[in-house]
Amino acid sequence: MFKTYPLSMKILLIDDEPDVVDLLQMLISMEYADATVFTAVSGQEGLQKVYENPDMNMVFCDYNMPQINGGGVFVELRKKFPRLDFILVSSENPKSHPEFNDAKYFHHIEKPFSDSTLYGMIKKIMTSLDQKSAMTSQEVTREHTEYIPLEIELLHRLNNINCSLYLKISDNKFVKVIHPGTSFTSEEMERFQKKEVETLFVDKKEFVNFMKEYKKNVFSKMAWDLAKTQDKVDVLSENMSLLKKMTDVFGWSEEAIKEAQENISTAINVLKNESSFEKLNELLKTKKNLKLVSHTFVLTIMLTEVIKRLGWDSHKTIEKLTFASLLHDVTLNEDLFADKQTMYINNDFLSLKSTLVGSKLFSHPIDAANLTLNWSLCPPDVDVIIRQHHERPDGLGFPMELAPFKISPLSAVFIVCEDLIYQHFVDPDLNLSEYFSSKKDYYGREPFRPVFNVVMEMLKIK
- Rounded to the nearest 10 degrees, the angle between the axes of helix 240-250 and helix 409-426 is 110
Q: List pLDDT tens digits, range 365-390.
A: 999 999 999 898 999 899 999 999 99
Mean pLDDT to the nearest integer, 397-416: 94
Q: What is the pLDDT of residue 136?
A: 43
How far is residue 210 from each of residues 33, 103, 207, measured CA to CA in Å?
18, 37, 5
145 pLDDT band, cuts 50/70/90, is low
Q: List pLDDT tens digits, range 282-319.
A: 666 655 556 667 788 899 999 999 999 999 988 899 99
Q: What is the pLDDT of residue 9?
A: 86
Q: What is the pLDDT of residue 7?
A: 47
Q: Which residues pair with 58 in a beta bridge?
A: 11, 85
> For residue 422, is pLDDT > 90?
no
> For residue 130, is pLDDT > 60?
no
Main-chain dihedrals φ then ψ at residue 151, nearest 5 degrees: -65, 145
348 pLDDT band, cuts 50/70/90, is low
CB 74 within 8 A of CB 106: yes
Q: List pLDDT tens digits, range 223-236.
A: 999 899 888 877 66
Q: List pLDDT tens digits, range 53-73.
A: 999 999 999 999 999 999 999
State the average pLDDT for the chain. Answer: 85
- 172 vs 64: which has the higher pLDDT: 64
Global pTM reads 0.82
Q: Which of these CATH numbers, 1.10.8, 1.10.3210, 3.10.20, 3.40.50, describes 230-458?
A: 1.10.3210
> For residue 428, is pLDDT > 90?
no
- 150 vs 143: which has the higher pLDDT: 150
3 pLDDT band, cuts 50/70/90, is very low
> For residue 462, is pLDDT > 60?
no
CATH 1.10.3210 maps onto the chain at 230-458
CB 36 within 8 A of CB 231: no
CATH 3.40.50.2300 maps onto the chain at 1-144
> For residue 212, is pLDDT > 90?
no
Q: What is the pLDDT of residue 95?
A: 92
Domain 1-144: state its class. Answer: alpha beta
Q: What is the pLDDT of residue 354?
A: 66
Mean pLDDT to the nearest integer, 11-20: 95
Q: What is the pLDDT of residue 5?
A: 43
